[in-house]
């Protein structure tokens, strides 16, 4: 079965559909993850994921939880994540399938090192889209945290200057950045490299993630496959995707914290700035302690688990194969 050809167009379509459905379901948790990872000691706005989401709804409304997902000033109503997650997930899932297919052409069952190599290839390919996508998403997601922090500090300063005699006058809200505005500003000031800030950190996160995720998913999925069937039931693929995704997400969370900090262009009051990956890691360790590298880990696990569970179910249902009238390629 390993010598059958796979249909890359169908795999890309399946990956895109899977990404669209998954990211829409889990985006509010991802926003909480970004804000929790970016807040530094002494400037804590949120105590937990639930506290972050409650405060976001109070200050920015329900749709504030989807900041960075949609951009109302784009005429088509296209979304940052919904636009870019389609090629990102398509590349990731299809590339893994492609590399697994190429590595199994000798007819032998894939060994664990070959499964890890296929995952490495998939993680490397996806950063072409992942880096600019997350660069824009992080700015949009973190804008509310920065604005709320500055508002609180401005109110405290005004109360202090007036001796607490009068209530502070609320300053007008700063305009929210948009994806189109951010893209134009980055391209104008830094060129294409501006959109790829944090590329090295993204590689250090996504390659190990894929090396852990894809072999773990394949083996868990295989365990749940009935001996008489060629593919696992959808619920097995879902649970395998959830388990493998959450395990891989927690494993690479330290790199995700560093990547998030490096890609954040705005800082809160008295927050550290960083010159690179090692400088960021050192300052986090020195000023916030080793536990800071696990900030947002449970949020990230809650994001990745259903995201990849949903993605694997949609992917292996073979929607694109049905649409294109193709036979779905068997898993290798």
Q: State the residue range of the domain holding 292.
A: 8-167+175-324
Instruction: Give the pLDDT of the chain (332 residues) as one tens digit per residue.
Output: 344 555 677 777 777 787 777 777 787 888 888 888 888 766 677 888 888 888 888 888 877 777 655 544 333 333 556 666 777 878 888 899 889 988 987 777 889 999 999 999 999 999 998 898 888 888 887 777 777 777 766 666 666 666 555 554 444 455 566 777 888 888 999 899 888 999 999 999 999 999 999 999 999 999 988 888 878 888 898 999 999 999 999 999 999 999 999 998 877 777 788 889 999 999 999 999 999 999 989 888 988 888 888 878 877 777 777 777 655 445 44
**Per the domain annotation, does 309 fall within a domain?**
yes
Cβ pair 43, 288 in contact under 8 A: no
Domain for residue 3, yes or no? no
Alpha carbon 251 to its chain centroid, in Å, reads: 14
The closest of 37, 122, 125, 126 to 84, measured between CA atoms, is 126
Terminal alpha carbon distance of the chain: 8
Domain membership flag for residue 2: no
Asked whether 40 and 268 are in contact (CB, 8 A), the reply is: yes
Query: 67 - beta bridge partners?
Result: 70
User: What is the domain-level CATH number for residue 221?
Assistant: 1.50.40.10
Beta-carbon neighbour count of residue 291 at 10 Å?
A: 8
Matching residue, tokens 């069952």: 109
Report residue 297 as tokens: 């880990």
Report whether 307 contacts 26 (CB < 8 A).
yes
Cβ(139)–Cβ(145) under 8 Å?
Answer: no
Q: How many domains does the chain have?
A: 1
Which structure tokens are listed for 163? 């001796």
Q: Which residues of 82-97 are buried (b: 16+ CB within 10 A; e: fewer)?
A: bbbbbbbbbbbbbbbb
Distance, in Å, from the CA atom of 306 to the CA atom of 300, rounded to the nearest integer, reads: 10
Q: Residue 51 domain-assigned? A: yes
Note if the pTM is more than 0.85: no
Residue 37 lies in a domain: yes
C-alpha closest to that of 247 among 314, 316, 298, 315: 298
Q: Is residue 1 in some structural domain?
A: no
73, part of any domain: yes
Element containing residue 83 per DSSP (H, E): helix 80-103
User: What b-and-e string marks burial along 236-273, b requiring 16 or more CB atoms within 10 Å of the CB?
Assistant: bbbbbbbbbbbbbbbbbbbbbbbbbbbbbeebbeebee
Residue 330 lies in a domain: no
CA-wise closest residue to 239 among 255, 252, 225: 225
């Amino acid at each position: 079965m390993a010598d059958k050809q796979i249909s890359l167009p169908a795999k890309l379509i399946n990956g895109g559909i899977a990404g669209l459905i998954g990211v829409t379901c889990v985006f509010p948790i991802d926003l909480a993850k970004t804000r929790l990872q970016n807040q530094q000691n002494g400037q804590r706005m949120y105590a937990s994921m639930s506290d972050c989401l409650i405060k976001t709804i109070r200050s920015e409304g329900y749709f504030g939880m989807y900041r960075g997902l949609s951009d109302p000033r784009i005429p088509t109503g296209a979304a940052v994540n919904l636009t870019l997650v389609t090629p990102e997930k398509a590349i990731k899932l299809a590339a893994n399938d492609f590399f697994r297919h190429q590595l199994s052409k000798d007819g032998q069952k894939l060994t664990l090192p070959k499964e890890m190599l296929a995952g490495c290839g998939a993680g490397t390919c996806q950063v072409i889209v992942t880096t600019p996508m997350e660069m824009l998403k992080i700015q949009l997601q973190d804008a509310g945290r920065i604005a709320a922090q500055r508002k609180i500090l401005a109110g405290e300063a005004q109360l202090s200057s007036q001796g607490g005699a009068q209530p502070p006058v609320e300053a007008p809200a700063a305009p929210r950045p948009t994806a189109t505005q951010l893209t134009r500003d980055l391209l104008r000031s830094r060129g294409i490299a501006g959109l790829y800030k944090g590329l090295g950190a993204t590689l250090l996160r996504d390659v190990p993630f894929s090396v852990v995720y894809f072999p773990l998913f394949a083996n868990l999925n295989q365990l749940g496959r009935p001996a008489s069937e060629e593919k696992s039931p959808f619920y097995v693929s879902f649970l395998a995707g959830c388990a493998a995704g959450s395990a891989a997400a927690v494993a690479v969370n330290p790199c995700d914290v560093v990547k998030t900090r490096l890609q954040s262009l705005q800082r809160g009051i008295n927050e550290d700035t960083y010159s690179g990956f090692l400088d960021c890691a050192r300052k986090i360790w020195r000023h916030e302690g080793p536990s800071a590298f696990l900030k947002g880990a449970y949020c990230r696990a809650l994001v990745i688990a259903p995201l990849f569970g949903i993605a694997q179910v949609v992917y292996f249902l073979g929607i694109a194969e049905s649409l294109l009238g193709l036979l779905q390629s068997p898993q290798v």
